Structure formats: C-alpha cells, structure tokens
Amino acid sequence: MSVSIAHLGPPGTYAEAATLAYLRTLGGDTESQALLCPYPSIAQTLYAVAQGQACLAVVPVENSVEGSVAMTLDTLWQLDQLQIQQGLVLPIEHTLLSRASDLAQIQTVYSHPQALGQCQKWLERYLPSVQLIPTNSTTEALKYLEGDRTSAVITSRRAAVLYNLPILASAINDYPDNCTRFWVVGKEPSPGGSYTSLAFSTPANVPGALVKPLQVFAIREINLSRIESRPTKRSLGEYLFFIDLEANASVASVQAALSELATYTEILKIFGSYNVASLQL
C-alpha cells in the first residue's frame, strides 16, 4: 500500500528533497511506493493531511540562517489533530538559474523569502541593483525564465536538472553550513523520541506569565533547545510560545512538568515526541 506525502511544490523544492531523503532512510520499497503530492503553499501542505488528502506532510520549520518558518508554526497551531512523526535536518546549497550569459544581464531575481535571505550577502555583492521578488517556493518562478534573459531564480541544483535549466552560479548561500530543519507530520500519535515540541498561550500579559511556565522545566533540569514567540493574532502584544524540549514526553519528570505547565497556560498543545535524522542531498 502506497503512502501519500504532501510537500511544498512544484517539484524540485528542498521540501521535496527532504521528503525523498526521508524515504531513503526508511529503506525497503518505501521510496518506490510513496506518492509525492506537491502543494503551492506550506499551509496547504499541512491542511492536506488534516483533511485526509495525504497521509503525511514534510514541512520546513527552521533554518540555521533565517530562523523559524512562521507559516509552519502558525498553521500547526491552528490544526489540532497533527502530530510530529520525525525531525529531519537537510543541508541547503543554493544555485542561481538563468538563461543569461553573465550576471550583468540579470535585472530580477525570484525565490522563496527564506532563500533570498540566505543569499543576501552574495546578492549584495554580485547583484546589488537587481529587483528581488519573493515567491511561494524556490521552484514556483522557474516558469518566468522561459525566453527571458534578464531574470534568475535561486533554487536547488536538482531543480536545474529537473527543468533542464542552466546554472549561472553555484553555492551562493552566504554560509556554507546552511541547513534547514523539517518536520514529518501526520495524524498518527507521535512515536516518541529524544525531542518534544509544544506550544502554549498564557492567560494574561502580566509579570511572570512566561517565567512560571519555563520554571517547570528548569527545576527538573529539562533542557530547552528552542523557544519562539508568535503573535496570537487576537491583539497587539499577545503571543504564543513554541518550545522544543530535549526530552521524551513519556518520561515521568517530563509528564510532571507538562501537568504543571497546564496550570499556567491558557491553551497548551503538545505536538509529540520524535527523533531527528541528519540527511544528505
């Protein structure tokens, strides 16, 4: 039986590369039996799983240079039934695709905002006067290159092969160790693992509203590997807090911490415990 996996498309995105690398880690015939389902946005990718259109989704959550992917966090907060099945870390190497013969011809560069940010210094050095246009994904704008020698797209080397497009510049990301963390999410209960992700809102914006929730982990010596705030979208100055723990939620001390945490929060959502795998392109 094939498994359907939603990811940000069109084909050639890093989300698709992470999906393919994830399938290779599963071994057997999983890769050949999987049905990859590209969607035009991260939100639609997650909704596809929530609405039963796909079994799993692979979505970016954090980049080592540009930080968290807000759309993933905001959508996951809105959808109550999704659980994280696996964490993935994928190295990211950007290329500049164009039909131009040299950089001097380029007037416009398209890409996802994260990719544009990860190549900011390179763009300032080599293409300081170009217009930067954000797109929903790193491959969405490749259609603009047809018959246009003044445009370029920042995307993956794999996209160049898939769409038979020339590479004008390689390895243009500002930091060589650039990598993105992805989550594999689905409706099944999380399998357990060495990381736990959760999010909560606080009842009121008062002194100690954040300190008290964080202390439940500190007193039990549970390490937090990430904390991120996002607006509730209800009122200016109100925030949600996303936290990653270096611990399994099935451990007694973590269960005690989560029980106490619930007394200090307005809404608490636990996205599950999972392991993280380092992937290769």
How crowded is residue 48: how many other Cβ atoms within 10 Å of its Cβ? 20
CA–CA separation, 196 and 225 (whole Å): 10
Q: How do residues 81-121 score in pLDDT, each as one tens digit?
A: 999 999 999 999 999 999 999 999 999 999 999 999 999 99
- Decide which of 3.40.190.10, 2.70.98.30, 3.40.50.300, 3.40.640.10 is the CATH code for 4-91+178-189: 3.40.190.10
**95-169 and 195-274 share one CATH topology?**
no
Residues lower than pLDDT 70 in the chain: 1, 28-32, 281
Global pTM reads 0.93
Q: What angle do CA 112, 55, 278 make, to 5 degrees?
A: 55
Contacts of 90 (CB under 8 A, 6+ apart): 14, 17, 18, 21, 179, 180, 182, 279, 281
Give the CATH number of domain 195-274: 3.30.70.260
- Do the beta carbons of residue 131 and residue 108 sit within 8 Å? yes
The two structure tokens encoding residue 43: 């939100």
User: What is the rounded distance in angstroms from the CA atom of residue 15 to the CA atom of residue 57?
Assistant: 10
- List beta partners, residue 68: 62
At residue 206, the pLDDT reads 75
Q: Within a 10 A sphere around the Cβ of 152, how many other Cβ atoms?
A: 29
31: buried, middle or exposed (CB in 10 Å: 19+, 13-18, 0-12)?
middle
Helices in 142-266 by DSSP H: which ranges?
Answer: 157-162, 211-218, 252-264
Strand partners, 111: 134
Q: Which residue has the tokens 């594999």?
A: 184
Domain assignments of the chain as residue spans, ordered by start? 4-91+178-189, 95-169, 195-274
- Is the domain spanning 95-169 CATH 3.30.365.10? The answer is no
For 180, other C-beta atoms within 10 Å of its C-beta total 23
For 7, the 3-state DSSP assignment is: strand
Q: For position 186, what pLDDT does the model report?
A: 98
Whole-angstrom distance, CA of residue 59 vs CA of residue 85: 12
> What local confidence, expressed as pLDDT, does residue 30 receive?
64
